[in-house]
Structure 1
Amino acid sequence: MLRKLSLLSLFLLTGFLVTQARAADSTIDRDVVYGTVGDMKLLADVYSPAEKSDAPRPVVLLIHGGGWRGGNKQAGTVVAIGKMLAKQGYVAVSINYRLVKDGADGQIENQWPAAIDDCRQAVRWIRENAEKLNVDPTKIGAAGDSAGGHLVSLLGTTDAAKPGEPSTRVQAVVNIYGPGDLTKDWTKYEISANLAVQEMIDRFLKKGNEENQIAASPTLHVDAQSANFLILQGGKDQLVPPSQTEALHEALKKAGRQSEFVLYENDGHGFGPATGLQALMKAMTFFERELKGESAAK
């Protein structure tokens, strides 16, 4: 979905993180090709700890928000979070993916499943290049906000791998106010007077296409193989209601998966300064447990 502000929503937080994650703590390999679609190159920025390691590192895939129609891998806070992860001993991979747009012929381009196909390709690429990246292909996390939260949730609840292909499922997911069920009625939610959430979903999934709505709804795909989740939600979110993320959380628990749901009651779609920092710390603690701690050893 569209964000009021960038991931975790704060320039203040961005400045704090950039200060904490100095260039000396990490290296950035920009515009790495992780796949191609026709003549289009799919690009990623790879953040790695500056200090070398003999042991493979856990890796976190970062997926930006923007309503499946905007945003990019170099959003200010994505850069800061990538550096923070690298400082803490992770490899972070921030990707661009195909965005919904109007084509020259009047047709809508890059509708479902373009975005999730690209995200899954990024997971495959990480696993296929694990040795080169010095990462553990069994310890892949993913984090995203809004539309990015939706896409990482699909990576945690589905696996599109064909026989003989690397899995496209990740092991740990941080969903920041990302929708879980696109089969619901969204007509009362508006981004602005000129753009309703339902219209944005219809452009993404093709209006009235129930098969796409189901396929694109992570809540409907939760099972015993799903990843463990941390779900961060604003109680006053007027674009993605708490009922969406709560339902995903309940489905995960019912399936026997670990899920932590954190509701910041006074925040909306985009967190305030204090909440943004709390959310970041929650996410870092979650990945420490799931990708480095006891959960990762299981």
Structure 2
Amino acid sequence: MIDAEVQQPKMKLNIASFLKYLFTCLLLFSLQITEAQKTKVIKDGVLRRTYNYADTLQLDFYSIPKDTISLKPTVILVHGGGFTAGQRNGGDEAGLSRYLAKQGFNVASIDYRLSRKGKSFGCDCATSIKMDTYIEAVADLSKAINYLTKSTSIFKVDSSKIFLIGSSAGAETVLNFQFMRYDYRFKNLPYPDANIIGAVSLSGAVLDENYINYRNKIPLLFFHGVKDSIVPYNTNSHRSCSTTDTGYIVLNGPKAIAERLRDLNGDFRIFYNENGGHEWASLGYEFPEQISQFLEEVLNGVANMKDFENVTSPIESRE
């Protein structure tokens, strides 16, 4: 009887030890899964690692190897392609990502659902489907930011200093993410607990500029062609659809956004091309110095600007 009483606590201790061992094994296994999902590539002194952040969606994370800074300002890059195509690791996206990483930023170039792949996103695509597509892309961007900011030991992301950059459909995603979250169709998405301090739009627009207010205004940098017939420079229909088209939906480009920001004493800089079209969704990548300068001005609190500047394509100027 005495022996049984002595051995009972020892049995509890063994069970507790086993549970602790099991927990440790599970933790190490989960870390191995996280490690296994990344592919390492070093180019120009910049390390690129690839991760699955949600389902089959991936992101490429660019950073400087052996950087001793604990947390860094981070850029989230969202590619274009009309929600039918495009890739996070295209030449433009990878080039800008490496450039900004060398300037001291973390950069994450992300996938998002291409819901219209193999389908139309033009005037014959129903407005309700277009709206669902916009919402899905914003949800994916939200998941990517959540993934990055909840794993600070891996990514060293300063969640109080997040920048967004997008091209075409990616720029629409960025602007809708920042300004449309109080719209009833967007408000229940998994928004991250992170502070967006600035954004860059290459040929992008927002669904409704009236949702921009004193609380969510941030400094914005735009590159846009004035004659863009796909995503308007001012306020017009997407892809210039007529009011009788099933895919008619109104978008508000940089000029309309700038007017709204001016009313709110917000900061913006618009690089526009008088005769340019939607090709500026790609040509905007040719201005990495201006993009980097904008990010630095915002970080340093000196982004006091309300500028419109006519620019020429650097590709044309080299011909």
Whether these two folds match at TM > 0.5 is yes
Q: How does 1:60-99 map to 2 (within 5 A)?
A: 60-99=75-114
Q: Which has the larger radius of gyration?
A: 2
Once the two structures are TM-superposed, the CA of residue 284 in structure 1 deviates from its matched residue by 1.1
| Residue of structure 2 in register with 1:294 after alignment | 301
Once the two structures are TM-superposed, the CA of residue 168 in structure 1 deviates from its matched residue by 5.7
Whole-Å Cα distance in 2 between the matches of residues 146 and 128 of structure 1?
28
Q: Secondary structure at the match of 2:76?
A: strand
Once the two structures are TM-superposed, the CA of residue 225 in structure 1 deviates from its matched residue by 2.1
| Residue of structure 1 in register with 2:140 after alignment | 118
Q: How does 1:272-283 map to 2 (within 5 A)?
A: 277=286, 279-283=287-291
Once the two structures are TM-superposed, the CA of residue 253 in structure 1 deviates from its matched residue by 2.4
Structure 2 counterpart of 1:290, one-letter code:
V
Q: How does 1:203-242 map to 2 (within 5 A)?
A: 217-226=207-216, 227-242=218-233
Whole-Å Cα distance in 2 between the matches of residues 115 and 175 of structure 1?
15
Once the two structures are TM-superposed, the CA of residue 290 in structure 1 deviates from its matched residue by 1.5
Whole-Å Cα distance in 2 between the matches of residues 275 and 119 of structure 1?
21
Q: 2:159 aligns with which of 113, 137, 154?
A: 137
Whole-Å Cα distance in 2 between the matches of residues 179 and 150 of structure 1?
5
Q: How does 1:156-195 map to 2 (within 5 A)?
A: 156-159=178-181, 166-167=192-193, 170-180=196-206
How many residue pairs were aligned?
230
* Alignment check: 8 A CA contact 2:47 2:63 kept: yes
Q: TM-score scaled by structure 1?
A: 0.68
Whole-Å Cα distance in 1 between the matches of residues 101 and 153 of structure 2?
17
* Alignment check: 8 A CA contact 1:155 1:169 kept: no
Once the two structures are TM-superposed, the CA of residue 77 in structure 1 deviates from its matched residue by 0.7
* Alignment check: 8 A CA contact 1:158 1:169 kept: no
Further displaced range: 50-59 or 87-96: 50-59
Q: Secondary structure at the match of 1:45?
A: strand
RMSD: 3.1
Whole-Å Cα distance in 2 between the matches of residues 155 and 121 of structure 1?
11
Once the two structures are TM-superposed, the CA of residue 42 in structure 1 deviates from its matched residue by 1.8
Structure 1: gaps spanning 5 or more residues: 1-21, 181-216
Asked if 1:246 corresponds to 2:255, the answer is: yes
Structure 1 counterpart of 2:86, one-letter code:
G
Once the two structures are TM-superposed, the CA of residue 255 in structure 1 deviates from its matched residue by 2.3
* Alignment check: 8 A CA contact 1:156 1:171 kept: no
Runs of 4+ in 1 over 4 A off after TM superposition: 158-162, 272-276
Once the two structures are TM-superposed, the CA of residue 218 in structure 1 deviates from its matched residue by 4.8
Cα separation, partners in 2 of 1:271 and 1:76, compared to 1, 3 Å:
same
Once the two structures are TM-superposed, the CA of residue 156 in structure 1 deviates from its matched residue by 2.5
| Residue of structure 1 in register with 2:265 after alignment | 256
Q: Secondary structure at the match of 2:62?
A: strand
| Residue of structure 2 in register with 1:269 after alignment | 278
Q: Secondary structure at the match of 1:242?
A: coil
Q: Secondary structure at the match of 2:67?
A: coil
* Alignment check: 8 A CA contact 1:233 1:264 kept: yes
* Alignment check: 8 A CA contact 2:72 2:158 kept: yes
| Residue of structure 1 in register with 2:173 after alignment | 151
Cα separation, partners in 2 of 1:218 and 1:290, compared to 1, 3 Å:
farther
Q: Percent identity at matched positions? A: 25
Whole-Å Cα distance in 2 between the matches of residues 68 and 179 of structure 1?
14
Structure 2: gaps spanning 5 or more residues: 1-41, 120-128, 235-252, 304-319
CA deviations on 1:208-237 (whole Å, 9 max, x unpaired) are xxxxxxxxx152321112222111111232
Once the two structures are TM-superposed, the CA of residue 79 in structure 1 deviates from its matched residue by 0.7
Whole-Å Cα distance in 2 between the matches of residues 95 and 102 of structure 1?
17
Structure 2 counterpart of 1:288, one-letter code:
E
| Residue of structure 2 in register with 1:285 after alignment | 293
* Alignment check: 8 A CA contact 2:143 2:192 kept: no
Q: Secondary structure at the match of 1:60?
A: strand
Whole-Å Cα distance in 1 between the matches of residues 146 and 94 of structure 2?
22
Whole-Å Cα distance in 2 between the matches of residues 103 and 265 of structure 1?
33
| Residue of structure 2 in register with 1:5 after alignment | none
